[in-house]
């Protein structure tokens, strides 16, 4: 039996999580798993009511679960940064979810803004380091409000963080790279950095990358790209990529670009993974306040997050079944992936996916 903590969160979070749970239930019945869910109301509403974001006691409680499913964090009436840092980043850091796994996969029937690129070309995965870099909060401000104000925010990495992320990426590439999936001749891991300017941090990444590759993963092909060039190639030649590994900040930026090439935020899912601990899965689209409560938001990203959760929990078959169901729905049912233009309501989309899983 799996104990799943559910944090629906803000905006459209609860609506899409409801559909993800519907699909999880169908998959559980189909594949004989037991998932017990416990809901937590962390988010903007609770913060405004109580002043609490994600208390330390909740972190301790969350450690007792097998996984966490998160809807969205971000509320129009709460200043930017409070909920993001207080809930999302706090969970990632405190639970040491040091990998942010973000597949960039174009599903059949989905329109990509990239001309002449289809599911064969847009099919890679970004392994974003999730605990260091500009996200650590190291920095400060002085002479605030004066013309001489100084603001410093520091990119922080140690060898340990870099090595554990690289090892995950190499292992992921060995298991899920293009060769492993029968879609190419090589498993290729590309390091994305900026060694021409960030000559300390990405020098560390690059040395660690080649040392580990040489020593432990000689069968995996290695590539290096600067982050600016990566943005260009993600648009022009996405088929070049297999598995990408990068730091937290670049990973944040390039995965939004990746998401739009795979048909938008309605489809992009991510996993905040602690391979030795509790991982947290989320649609990466945010709370979309303007669509809240209308029943028009696309729940497929949340459903894909649930599928990813099952994969990490070791429920391969159930995970693949949900992915197959999503592919069927994008190919055969939805008119558009965008909120309000799907041709179905949020819950109808969830119903169709659940039904497909049940009928498999």
Binding region for Mn ion (CB under 5 A): 252
**How many residues of this chain bind ligand IPM (CB under 6 A)?**
5
Q: Which residues within the stretch 251-310 sit at the binding site for ligand IPM (CB under 6 A)?
A: 252, 284
> Could you give the CA distance from residue 23 to residue 65 in angstroms, rounded to a whole number?
20
**Residue (93 or 172) nearer to ligand IPM, CB:** 93
Report yes or no: 264 and 146 within 8 Å, Cβ to Cβ. no
Least Å distance, CB 250 to Mn ion, is 11
Decide: helix, strand or coil at residue 220: coil
Binder among 30, 59, 66, 84 for ligand IPM (CB under 6 A)? 84
Least Å distance, CB 151 to ligand IPM, is 18
Binder among 88, 220, 254, 357 for ligand IPM (CB under 6 A)? 88
Least Å distance, CB 174 to ligand IPM, is 26
Least Å distance, CB 258 to Mn ion, is 11
Contact region with ligand IPM (CB under 6 A), list: 1-9, 54-62, 84-92, 230-238 = 84-92
Least Å distance, CB 285 to ligand IPM, is 10
Partner from ligand IPM, Mn ion, none binding residue 4, C-beta < 5-8 Å depending on class: none
**Residue (80 or 314) nearer to ligand IPM, CB:** 80
Instruction: Provide the mask over 187-226, with x wherever binding to ligand IPM is found by CB under 6 A and - wherever it is not.
Output: ----------------------------------------
**Residue (88 or 165) nearer to ligand IPM, CB:** 88
**Residue (43 or 74) nearer to Mn ion, CB:** 74
**Residue (83 or 166) nearer to ligand IPM, CB:** 83
Least Å distance, CB 283 to ligand IPM, is 10
* Beta-bridge partners for 210: none
**Residue (123 or 252) nearer to Mn ion, CB:** 252
Strands 269-273 and 99-105 come out as: antiparallel
Contact region with ligand IPM (CB under 6 A), list: 81-89, 138-146, 291-299, 335-343 = 81-89
3-state secondary structure the chain: CEEEEEEEECCCHHHHHHHHHHHHHHHHHHHCCCEEEEECCCCHHHHHHHCCCCCHHHHHHHCCCCEEEEEECCCCCCCCCHHHHHHHHHHHHHCCCCEEEEEEECCCCCCCCCCCCCCCCCEEEEEEECCCEHHHCCEEEECCCCCCCEEEECCECCHHHHHHHHHHHHHHHHHHCCCCCCCCCCCEEEEEECCCCCCCHHHHHHHHHHHHHHHHCCCCEEEEEEHHHHHHHHHHCHHHCCEEEECHHHHHHHHHHHHHHCCCCCCCEEEEECCCCCEEEEECCCCCHHHCCCCCCCCHHHHHHHHHHHHHHCCHHHHHHHHHHHHHHHHHCCCCCCCCCCCCCHHHHHHHHHHHHHHC
Decide: helix, strand or coil at residue 302: helix
Least Å distance, CB 109 to ligand IPM, is 26
Partner from Mn ion, ligand IPM, none binding residue 84, C-beta < 5-8 Å depending on class: ligand IPM
**Residue (157 or 170) nearer to ligand IPM, CB:** 157
Partner from Mn ion, ligand IPM, none binding residue 127, C-beta < 5-8 Å depending on class: none
**Residue (7 or 89) nearer to ligand IPM, CB:** 89
**Residue (129 or 252) nearer to ligand IPM, CB:** 252
Least Å distance, CB 256 to Mn ion, is 6
What number of CA atoms fall less than 13 Å from residue 89's CA on the CB side? 18
What number of CA atoms fall less than 13 Å from residue 290's CA on the CB side? 2
Report yes or no: 5 and 62 within 8 Å, Cβ to Cβ. yes
> What is the binding site for ligand IPM (CB under 6 A)?
84, 88-89, 252, 284
């Amino acid at each position: 039996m799996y104990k799943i903590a559910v944090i629906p969160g803000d905006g459209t979070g609860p609506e899409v999580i409801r559909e993800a749970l519907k699909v999880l239930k169908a998959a559980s019945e189909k594949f004989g798993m037991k998932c017990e869910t416990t809901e937590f109301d962390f988010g903007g509403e609770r913060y405004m009511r109580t002043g609490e974001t994600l208390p330390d006691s909740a972190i301790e409680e969350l450690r007792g679960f097998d996984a966490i499913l998160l809807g969205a964090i971000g509320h129009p009436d709460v200043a930017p940064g409070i909920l993001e840092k207080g809930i999302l980043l706090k969970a990632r850091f405190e639970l040491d979810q040091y990998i942010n796994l973000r597949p960039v996969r174009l599903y059949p029937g989905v329109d990509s803004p990239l001309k002449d690129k289809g599911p064969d070309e847009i099919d890679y995965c970004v392994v974003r380091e999730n605990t260091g870099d500009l996200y650590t909060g190291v920095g400060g401000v002085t002479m605030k409000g004066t013309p001489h104000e100084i603001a410093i925010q520091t990119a922080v990495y140690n060898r340990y963080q870099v090595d554990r992320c690289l090892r995950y990426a190499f292992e992921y590439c060995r298991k899920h790279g293009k060769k492993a999936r029968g879609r190419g001749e090589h498993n290729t891991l590309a390091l994305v950095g900026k060694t021409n300017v960030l000559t300390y941090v990405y020098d560390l990444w690059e040395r660690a990358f080649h040392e580990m590759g040489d020593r432990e993963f000689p069968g995996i092909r290695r590539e290096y790209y600067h982050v600016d060039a990566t943005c260009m190639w993600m648009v022009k030649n996405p088929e070049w990529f297999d598995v990408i590994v990068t730091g937290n900040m670049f990973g944040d930026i390039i995965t939004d670009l990746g998401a739009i090439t795979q048909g938008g935020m309605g489809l992009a899912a991510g996993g905040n993974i602690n391979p030795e601990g509790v991982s947290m899965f989320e649609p990466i689209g945010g709370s979309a306040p303007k669509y809240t409560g209308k029943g028009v938001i696309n729940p497929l990203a949340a459903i894909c997050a649930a599928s990813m959760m099952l994969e990490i929990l070791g429920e391969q078959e159930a995970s693949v079944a949900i992915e197959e169901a999503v592919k069927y729905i994008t190919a055969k049912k939805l008119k558009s992936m965008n909120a309000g233009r799907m041709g179905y309501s949020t819950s109808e989309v969830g119903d169709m996916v659940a039904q497909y899983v049940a009928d498999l």
